[in-house]
Amino acid sequence: MSDVMLRVTNVSVAFGGLRALDNASLFVEEGKIFSLIGPNGAGKTTLFNVISGSLSADSGQVEFMGRDITGLKPHEICRAGISRTFQLKNTFPNLSVFDNIMAGMLKDQTSREVRHKRVLEILDFLGISNIADSIVSSITPLESKFVELGRAMATSPKLILLDELIGGLLPSETEKICDIIEILRDRGLTILQVGHEIKPIMRTSDRIFVLDQGRNVADGSPEEVRCNKDVFSCYLE
Protein backbone atom coordinates (compact mmCIF):
# COMPACT_ATOMS: atom_id res chain seq x y z
CA MET A 1 0.00 0.00 0.00
CA SER A 2 1.31 3.45 -0.94
CA ASP A 3 2.15 6.02 1.69
CA VAL A 4 -0.63 8.40 2.63
CA MET A 5 0.38 11.88 1.46
CA LEU A 6 -2.74 13.81 2.51
CA ARG A 7 -5.08 12.99 5.37
CA VAL A 8 -8.21 15.00 6.17
CA THR A 9 -9.87 14.04 9.46
CA ASN A 10 -13.34 15.03 10.68
CA VAL A 11 -13.45 18.45 9.04
CA SER A 12 -16.57 20.52 9.69
CA VAL A 13 -17.51 23.92 8.25
CA ALA A 14 -20.72 25.87 8.79
CA PHE A 15 -21.91 29.03 7.07
CA GLY A 16 -24.45 30.44 9.49
CA GLY A 17 -27.06 27.73 9.89
CA LEU A 18 -25.83 25.77 6.86
CA ARG A 19 -23.44 22.93 7.65
CA ALA A 20 -21.36 22.63 4.50
CA LEU A 21 -19.06 19.91 5.88
CA ASP A 22 -19.98 17.55 8.69
CA ASN A 23 -16.99 15.53 9.96
CA ALA A 24 -15.77 14.90 6.42
CA SER A 25 -12.67 12.74 6.07
CA LEU A 26 -10.51 11.42 3.25
CA PHE A 27 -6.97 10.39 2.48
CA VAL A 28 -4.82 10.47 -0.65
CA GLU A 29 -2.04 8.00 -1.35
CA GLU A 30 1.18 9.14 -2.96
CA GLY A 31 1.45 8.62 -6.72
CA LYS A 32 -2.26 7.95 -7.19
CA ILE A 33 -5.32 9.74 -8.59
CA PHE A 34 -8.02 10.03 -5.94
CA SER A 35 -11.39 11.62 -6.68
CA LEU A 36 -14.10 13.37 -4.72
CA ILE A 37 -17.64 13.24 -6.10
CA GLY A 38 -21.14 14.05 -4.94
CA PRO A 39 -24.22 16.07 -5.90
CA ASN A 40 -24.24 19.86 -6.12
CA GLY A 41 -23.89 21.36 -2.65
CA ALA A 42 -22.26 18.25 -1.21
CA GLY A 43 -19.26 20.24 0.07
CA LYS A 44 -16.61 19.20 -2.43
CA THR A 45 -15.22 22.65 -3.26
CA THR A 46 -15.57 23.68 0.39
CA LEU A 47 -13.30 20.78 1.33
CA PHE A 48 -10.81 21.81 -1.36
CA ASN A 49 -10.85 25.34 0.05
CA VAL A 50 -10.04 24.01 3.51
CA ILE A 51 -7.20 21.84 2.21
CA SER A 52 -5.69 24.71 0.18
CA GLY A 53 -6.01 27.23 3.01
CA SER A 54 -8.52 29.66 1.50
CA LEU A 55 -11.13 28.67 4.09
CA SER A 56 -10.71 27.88 7.79
CA ALA A 57 -12.45 24.81 9.18
CA ASP A 58 -14.51 25.04 12.35
CA SER A 59 -13.00 21.74 13.47
CA GLY A 60 -10.94 18.87 12.15
CA GLN A 61 -7.40 18.42 10.89
CA VAL A 62 -5.51 18.43 7.59
CA GLU A 63 -2.15 16.66 7.45
CA PHE A 64 0.21 16.75 4.47
CA MET A 65 3.24 14.49 4.36
CA GLY A 66 2.98 13.98 8.10
CA ARG A 67 2.76 17.70 8.88
CA ASP A 68 -0.27 19.40 10.37
CA ILE A 69 -1.16 22.16 7.88
CA THR A 70 -4.55 22.99 9.39
CA GLY A 71 -5.13 26.73 9.24
CA LEU A 72 -2.03 27.62 7.23
CA LYS A 73 -2.39 30.40 4.65
CA PRO A 74 -2.72 29.52 0.95
CA HIS A 75 0.82 30.65 0.06
CA GLU A 76 2.23 28.57 2.92
CA ILE A 77 0.34 25.50 1.73
CA CYS A 78 1.52 26.13 -1.83
CA ARG A 79 5.11 26.29 -0.61
CA ALA A 80 4.55 23.03 1.27
CA GLY A 81 3.79 21.35 -2.06
CA ILE A 82 0.04 21.59 -2.76
CA SER A 83 -1.28 23.47 -5.78
CA ARG A 84 -4.77 23.68 -7.23
CA THR A 85 -6.99 24.67 -10.11
CA PHE A 86 -10.38 26.28 -9.64
CA GLN A 87 -13.94 25.42 -10.62
CA LEU A 88 -14.42 28.88 -12.13
CA LYS A 89 -11.84 30.30 -14.52
CA ASN A 90 -9.04 31.85 -12.49
CA THR A 91 -6.51 33.02 -15.04
CA PHE A 92 -5.08 36.48 -15.74
CA PRO A 93 -7.17 37.35 -18.82
CA ASN A 94 -5.00 40.21 -20.10
CA LEU A 95 -1.71 38.35 -19.83
CA SER A 96 -0.24 35.85 -22.27
CA VAL A 97 -0.41 32.10 -21.84
CA PHE A 98 3.35 32.12 -21.15
CA ASP A 99 3.05 34.75 -18.40
CA ASN A 100 0.07 33.01 -16.79
CA ILE A 101 2.10 29.84 -16.39
CA MET A 102 5.18 31.79 -15.32
CA ALA A 103 3.09 33.25 -12.47
CA GLY A 104 3.14 29.84 -10.82
CA MET A 105 6.90 30.11 -10.35
CA LEU A 106 7.04 33.48 -8.64
CA LYS A 107 7.21 31.85 -5.21
CA ASP A 108 10.59 30.33 -6.05
CA GLN A 109 13.96 32.07 -5.76
CA THR A 110 15.17 31.05 -9.22
CA SER A 111 16.67 32.90 -12.16
CA ARG A 112 14.61 34.14 -15.07
CA GLU A 113 16.45 31.68 -17.32
CA VAL A 114 15.41 28.72 -15.16
CA ARG A 115 11.82 29.92 -15.06
CA HIS A 116 11.75 30.47 -18.80
CA LYS A 117 13.04 26.95 -19.48
CA ARG A 118 10.52 25.38 -17.10
CA VAL A 119 7.59 27.23 -18.68
CA LEU A 120 8.68 26.08 -22.13
CA GLU A 121 8.79 22.49 -20.85
CA ILE A 122 5.26 22.78 -19.43
CA LEU A 123 3.93 24.35 -22.64
CA ASP A 124 5.44 21.53 -24.67
CA PHE A 125 4.09 18.84 -22.33
CA LEU A 126 0.57 20.28 -22.52
CA GLY A 127 0.75 20.75 -26.29
CA ILE A 128 0.13 24.49 -26.21
CA SER A 129 3.50 25.90 -27.25
CA ASN A 130 1.83 27.34 -30.34
CA ILE A 131 -0.29 29.72 -28.22
CA ALA A 132 2.43 30.78 -25.77
CA ASP A 133 2.17 34.44 -26.83
CA SER A 134 -1.65 34.49 -27.07
CA ILE A 135 -3.63 36.60 -24.62
CA VAL A 136 -5.59 34.23 -22.38
CA SER A 137 -8.92 36.00 -22.98
CA SER A 138 -8.68 34.99 -26.64
CA ILE A 139 -8.07 31.26 -26.29
CA THR A 140 -10.50 28.33 -26.25
CA PRO A 141 -12.04 26.80 -23.09
CA LEU A 142 -9.85 23.70 -23.43
CA GLU A 143 -6.73 25.81 -23.80
CA SER A 144 -7.76 27.80 -20.71
CA LYS A 145 -7.98 24.52 -18.76
CA PHE A 146 -4.45 23.67 -19.87
CA VAL A 147 -3.22 27.11 -18.79
CA GLU A 148 -4.68 26.61 -15.29
CA LEU A 149 -3.12 23.16 -15.09
CA GLY A 150 0.18 24.50 -16.38
CA ARG A 151 0.25 27.24 -13.74
CA ALA A 152 -0.40 24.63 -11.04
CA MET A 153 2.40 22.47 -12.43
CA ALA A 154 4.74 25.47 -12.41
CA THR A 155 4.62 25.62 -8.60
CA SER A 156 6.52 22.28 -8.55
CA PRO A 157 3.82 20.57 -6.48
CA LYS A 158 3.79 17.16 -4.89
CA LEU A 159 -0.02 17.17 -4.87
CA ILE A 160 -2.40 18.92 -7.29
CA LEU A 161 -6.05 19.57 -6.44
CA LEU A 162 -8.14 19.66 -9.63
CA ASP A 163 -11.53 21.29 -9.12
CA GLU A 164 -13.78 20.40 -12.08
CA LEU A 165 -10.88 20.55 -14.55
CA ILE A 166 -12.88 18.38 -16.95
CA GLY A 167 -16.12 20.32 -16.49
CA GLY A 168 -17.82 21.97 -19.47
CA LEU A 169 -15.74 20.30 -22.17
CA LEU A 170 -16.61 18.27 -25.24
CA PRO A 171 -16.08 14.48 -24.94
CA SER A 172 -12.99 14.60 -27.18
CA GLU A 173 -11.56 17.43 -25.07
CA THR A 174 -12.28 15.52 -21.87
CA GLU A 175 -10.28 12.60 -23.25
CA LYS A 176 -7.28 14.89 -23.76
CA ILE A 177 -7.47 16.10 -20.17
CA CYS A 178 -7.78 12.53 -18.88
CA ASP A 179 -4.71 11.50 -20.90
CA ILE A 180 -2.69 14.34 -19.36
CA ILE A 181 -3.85 13.53 -15.82
CA GLU A 182 -2.89 9.89 -16.21
CA ILE A 183 0.54 10.80 -17.59
CA LEU A 184 1.15 13.11 -14.63
CA ARG A 185 0.28 10.27 -12.26
CA ASP A 186 2.56 7.90 -14.14
CA ARG A 187 5.35 10.46 -13.72
CA GLY A 188 4.89 10.36 -9.95
CA LEU A 189 2.58 13.31 -9.30
CA THR A 190 -0.27 12.82 -6.82
CA ILE A 191 -3.72 14.11 -7.76
CA LEU A 192 -6.99 14.74 -5.93
CA GLN A 193 -9.77 15.73 -8.32
CA VAL A 194 -13.37 16.87 -8.03
CA GLY A 195 -15.68 16.06 -10.92
CA HIS A 196 -19.27 15.51 -11.96
CA GLU A 197 -18.70 13.56 -15.19
CA ILE A 198 -18.80 9.97 -14.01
CA LYS A 199 -17.17 8.29 -17.03
CA PRO A 200 -13.84 10.20 -16.88
CA ILE A 201 -13.80 9.99 -13.07
CA MET A 202 -14.23 6.22 -13.25
CA ARG A 203 -11.56 5.99 -15.94
CA THR A 204 -8.83 7.94 -14.17
CA SER A 205 -9.41 7.24 -10.46
CA ASP A 206 -7.53 4.80 -8.27
CA ARG A 207 -9.97 5.51 -5.44
CA ILE A 208 -13.13 7.60 -5.08
CA PHE A 209 -14.66 9.35 -2.06
CA VAL A 210 -18.33 10.35 -2.11
CA LEU A 211 -19.84 13.26 -0.18
CA ASP A 212 -23.52 14.07 0.31
CA GLN A 213 -24.70 17.04 2.38
CA GLY A 214 -21.18 17.46 3.73
CA ARG A 215 -20.89 13.89 5.00
CA ASN A 216 -18.98 10.86 3.81
CA VAL A 217 -21.29 8.42 2.04
CA ALA A 218 -18.85 5.90 0.61
CA ASP A 219 -15.34 5.33 -0.67
CA GLY A 220 -13.55 2.62 -2.56
CA SER A 221 -12.39 1.59 -6.00
CA PRO A 222 -14.35 2.89 -9.02
CA GLU A 223 -16.15 -0.45 -9.29
CA GLU A 224 -17.02 -0.51 -5.59
CA VAL A 225 -18.42 3.02 -5.77
CA ARG A 226 -20.36 2.28 -8.94
CA CYS A 227 -22.09 -0.64 -7.24
CA ASN A 228 -22.78 1.13 -3.92
CA LYS A 229 -26.53 1.60 -3.32
CA ASP A 230 -26.03 4.69 -1.16
CA VAL A 231 -24.02 6.36 -3.92
CA PHE A 232 -26.64 5.46 -6.50
CA SER A 233 -29.47 6.94 -4.45
CA CYS A 234 -27.73 10.26 -3.65
CA TYR A 235 -25.77 10.86 -6.85
CA LEU A 236 -26.14 8.43 -9.73
CA GLU A 237 -29.91 7.97 -9.71
The answer, yes or no, to whether residue 21 has pLDDT greater than 60, is yes
Residue 236: per-residue pLDDT: 54
Q: Compute the average pLDDT of residues 207-229.
A: 92
> Domain residues for 64?
1-81+160-168+177-237
Full-model pTM: 0.92
Residues 71 and 104 in one domain: no
> Residue 204 sits in a domain of what CATH number?
3.40.50.300
Residues 4 and 60 in one domain: yes
Q: How confident is the model at residue 20 (pLDDT cuts 50, 70, 90)?
A: very high
How many percent of the chain have pLDDT more than 70?
Answer: 96
Residues 46 and 95 in one domain: no
Q: Which residue has the higher pLDDT, 34 or 199?
A: 34
Residues 98 and 201 in one domain: no
The chain-wide mean pLDDT, for the chain, equals 92
Residues 70 and 164 in one domain: yes
Residue 112: per-residue pLDDT: 86
Residues 70 and 9 in one domain: yes
Residues 44 and 75 in one domain: yes
Q: Compute the average pLDDT of residues 88-102.
A: 89
Residues 143 and 189 in one domain: no
The answer, yes or no, to whether residue 4 has pLDDT greater than 80, is yes
Residue 196: per-residue pLDDT: 80
Of 105, 121, 156, the one marking the end of a domain is 156
Residues 140 and 189 in one domain: no
Residue 181 burial (CB < 10 Å; 0-12/13-18/19+)?
A: buried
Of 127, 156, 185, the one marking the end of a domain is 156
Residues 117 and 188 in one domain: no
Q: How confident is the model at residue 192 (pLDDT cuts 50, 70, 90)?
A: very high
Q: Compute the average pLDDT of residues 169-198.
A: 93
Q: Compute the average pLDDT of residues 38-65.
A: 94
The answer, yes or no, to whether residue 50 has pLDDT greater than 70, is yes
Q: Compute the average pLDDT of residues 163-185.
A: 91
Residue 198: per-residue pLDDT: 85
Tally the domains of the chain: 2
Q: Compute the average pLDDT of residues 145-173.
A: 93
Q: How confident is the model at residue 1 (pLDDT cuts 50, 70, 90)?
A: very low
Residues 36 and 151 in one domain: no
Residues 76 and 93 in one domain: no
Q: Compute the average pLDDT of residues 90-99.
A: 91
